[in-house]
Amino acid sequence: MSTPEQLTEHFLLAARGSEARALGQLVHSCQLVAAVCELVHELQRERGISNVFLASAGQEFAEELKQQNGRTNTASDHFCDYLQRVQSGQDQLWSSARLYHRIAHVLLQLKDLAELRNSIEQGNLTTAQATEAWSGLIAELLSVLFEIADIAADAEISRALVALFHFLQAKEHTGQERAWGCVGFAAEAFDTEILARLQHLRESQQRCLDVFVRFAEPEEVWFWEQLEQAPAKAELVRMRKVIDALGKGAAVPHGVSETWFAVATARIDGMRELEEQLSADLQAMAGERLEKARKALQDNRSRLEAEPPAEPVSAFSLLLDASSDSDQVPAAGSVRALYDLLQEQADHLQQVSDQLEEARSALTERKLVERAKGLMMQYQKMTEEEAFASLRRAAMEGNCRLIDVAARVVAAAEKLKG
């Protein structure tokens, strides 16, 4: 029968081993993140090209659309190939049922991609309908990244995932701004609904970027600041002013949709460069963290094996030794090593917990705001833009945070259900 010291040693090393296995799973998850980023970018581009194609009744961007179909298919193959490795057991499985559920949703929508493309080619969809269809698929893919960030148990990687997710979400809002801008130019009019949607997308971009800057590494923030000063941003601001002027009744010049598409695309392509860097940094960090955890496990095992056998010593006596100012009566042998390692691990876990709490707070806030918006859309028949505007207005009038208003909305809905 094992002694208490042997059992302690076993579970101490098991804790370190569990941390290493979780990091190994995160390393594989980062590969999925890279595949999702690639697919999202190609879908965003196909959405924009499809809108110009539809807006011109098939007269423009027909060849570009065919080429983009091929690029999107390649990215989709990379995504599915990774999932095939997971399904066949070549890569580690995850422990989140919600993540599997999100992936299943994405695969179901990818199956319908051919039908969507056929409807676009036949001109059976409006630009608004096509935009909604593409955006729904992209939203499902981004939700996969959200779930990965939500289950990450390593503080550093969790922060990096939070930064990447919010940057991708900002890029998606920019892509939707490009798409809905094309809708307005195609209709040669920017009605109140489209203008409200565009304003909402601009504000959403900034909110996501604020979170990105909060959690990103300094060099990544520097890269972003350079993009903000690039000509592509200045051109985008100029075109936004054109749209605002058109919304006040000015006539829409012919052919401006192509100019808008080119300007917005330059902005998105610049964001894609940083997105790729964020993904590469994430994978490198995950590898380094895994190696560090494996080394810590080996170091713990070596320290325990190096200690000579000792007479039994109680944990209480060790606590007295630790609180004493005198080092003249050290505790004996392996029990002292166990105590020291347990204390080191407790400190490590507390630090990780504190850092994770900060990272996950951003994800929790997002979930709460999204839930509040969903409830207002469901019960008050609001659009997403109207729901968010109502939440923001209430926060300003009540001089409180947006999340506080969202929490009150959710609590009120729960009370009504009860």
This prediction has a pTM of 0.80
232-270 exposure pattern, b = at least 16 Cβ within 10 A, e = fewer? beebbeebbebbeebbeeeebeeebbeebbebbbebbeb
What pLDDT is attached to residue 347?
60
User: HSE (CB half, 13 Å, CA atoms) of 268?
Assistant: 27
pLDDT of 93: 64
Any residues with CB less than 8 A from the CB of 233 and at least 6 apart, and which?
227, 267
- pLDDT of amino acid 234: 94
Q: Which residue has the tokens 């195609």?
A: 186
Of 115-124, 181-190, 293-302, 317-326, which has the strongest mean pLDDT? 115-124
Backbone angles phi, psi at 324, to 5 degrees: -80, 150
399-406: list long-range contacts, CB under 8 Å, 24+ apart.
402/369, 403/365, 403/368, 403/369, 405/372, 406/365, 406/368, 406/369, 406/371, 406/372, 406/373
Secondary structure (DSSP) of 161-216: HHHHHHHHHHHHHHHHHHHHHHHHHHHT---HHHHHHHHHHHHHHHHHHHHHHHHS
Q: What percent of the chain has pLDDT over 70?
A: 78
Min mean pLDDT across 15-19, 24-28, 140-144, 238-242 is at: 15-19
* Tens-digit pLDDT profile for residues 293-336: 778 767 767 766 665 554 454 544 544 455 555 444 444 455 55
Checking if the pLDDT of 184 tops 70, the result is yes
Question: Residues 332-359: pLDDT tens digits?
Answer: 455 555 556 556 656 655 665 666 677 7
How many CA atoms within 13 Å lie on the side-chain side of 333? Answer: 10
pLDDT of residue 367: 80
d(CA 399, CA 220): 33
What is the enclosing helix (H) or strand (E) of 378?
helix 333-379
Q: What average pLDDT does range 156-181 have in this prediction? A: 92
Give the Cα separation of 153 and 365 in Å (integer).
Answer: 18
Distance of CA 371 to the CA centre of its chain: 17
Write b or e for each residue in 110-138: b if 16 or more Cβ atoms lie within 10 A of its Cβ, otherwise e.
beebeebbeebbeeebebbebbebbbebb
Average pLDDT, the chain: 82
Average pLDDT (38-55) is 92
Q: Looking at residue 20, what is its pLDDT?
A: 64
**391 has pLDDT over 90:** no
Number of H helices, E strands in the chain: 14, 0
Question: Cα torsion for 391, 392, 393, 399, to the nearest 10°?
Answer: 110
DSSP assignments along 349-376, one per residue = HHHHHHHHHHHHHHHHHHHHHHHHHHHH
| pLDDT at site 248 | 66
Q: Which residues does 46 contact at the CB level (< 8 Å), separation at least 6?
A: 65, 68, 69, 71, 72, 134
Q: Let me know: does 166 contact 209? Beta carbons within 8 Å.
A: yes
Q: How far apart are CA 120 and CA 317, in angstroms?
A: 76
Residue with tokens 């968010």: 388
What is the rounded average pLDDT of the residues 37-61? 90
Lowest mean pLDDT segment, chosen from 89-98, 208-217, 307-316, 402-411? 307-316
Q: What percent of the chain has pLDDT over 90?
A: 37
Mean pLDDT value across residues 270-281:
94
For the record, the structure tokens of 116 come out as 């969507």
Calpha distance 293→15 (Å, rounded): 11
Average pLDDT over residues 155-168: 90
Confidence (pLDDT) at 80:
93
Q: Maximum Cα–Cα distance for the chain, whole Å?
A: 91
CB atoms within 10 A of CB 5: 18
Q: Is the pLDDT confidence value at 30 over 80?
A: yes
**Cα atoms in the 13 Å half-sphere on the side-chain side of 99:** 16
